[in-house]
Amino acid sequence: MELDEIDKKLLLFLQEDCKQTTKELSGKLGLSVTAVYERVKKLENSGVISRYVALLDKNKIHRNFIILCHVKLTQHKKEFVLQFEKEVMNLQEVTECFHVSGDYDYILKIGVRNIEDYRNFMLTKLTTLQHIASTHSSFMISEIKNTTAIVL
């Protein structure tokens, strides 16, 4: 799907606040309410907009101790990779998981209350997964940039 400049502006506005009404968006875009509604539906139906979510304040829900954990598997066999990926999907503390190149196979973004909760997570959940050879953890000192917006 080819996006025109109005689609791009509309997507930026929706990424800033998806609860804006079509009337509010029509005023910002200089389009009729119907035109905005039809564009949003087209973007949803084509899969450009995949879903709408609420972003939570990590501090208010006590999940502001953020860790990037690098994981190395024992082997790169297909069944080991698929099993790890299936199992990591069930770890609620893991908010993001990336299969990467380099010295490690995966990078996990983990959010917990504090270092004690992370230790417990490591001992009772992560290290119980099969085929993990090693892990390396880095802890967030401060958050410089955190956005979900994609600029087109």
- What pLDDT, on a 0 to 100 scale, did the predictor assign at position 68? 98
Q: How far apart are CA 56 and CA 54, in angstroms?
A: 6
Contacts of 110 (CB under 8 A, 6+ apart): 66, 67, 68, 69, 93, 94, 95, 118, 121
- What pLDDT, on a 0 to 100 scale, did the predictor assign at position 3? 97
Digit-by-digit pLDDT tens for the chain (152 residues) are 899 999 999 999 999 999 999 999 999 999 999 999 999 999 999 999 999 999 999 999 999 999 999 999 999 999 999 999 999 999 999 999 999 999 999 999 999 999 999 999 999 999 999 999 999 999 999 999 999 999 99
Structural class in CATH, domain 5-46: mainly alpha
Instruction: Tell me the fold of 65-139.
Output: Alpha-Beta Plaits (3.30.70)
Cβ atoms 65, 120 nearer than 8 A? no
- What pLDDT, on a 0 to 100 scale, did the predictor assign at position 1? 85
- What pLDDT, on a 0 to 100 scale, did the predictor assign at position 127? 94
Question: Which residues lie across from 94 on neighbouring strands?
Answer: 110
pTM for the structure as a whole? 0.89
Q: Give CATH 1.10.10.10 domain extents, the chain.
A: 5-46
Q: Give CATH 3.30.70.920 domain extents, the chain.
A: 65-139
Comparing C-alpha atoms, which of 53, 36, 43 is closest to residue 152?
Answer: 43
Cβ atoms 129, 84 nearer than 8 A? yes
- What pLDDT, on a 0 to 100 scale, did the predictor assign at position 112? 98
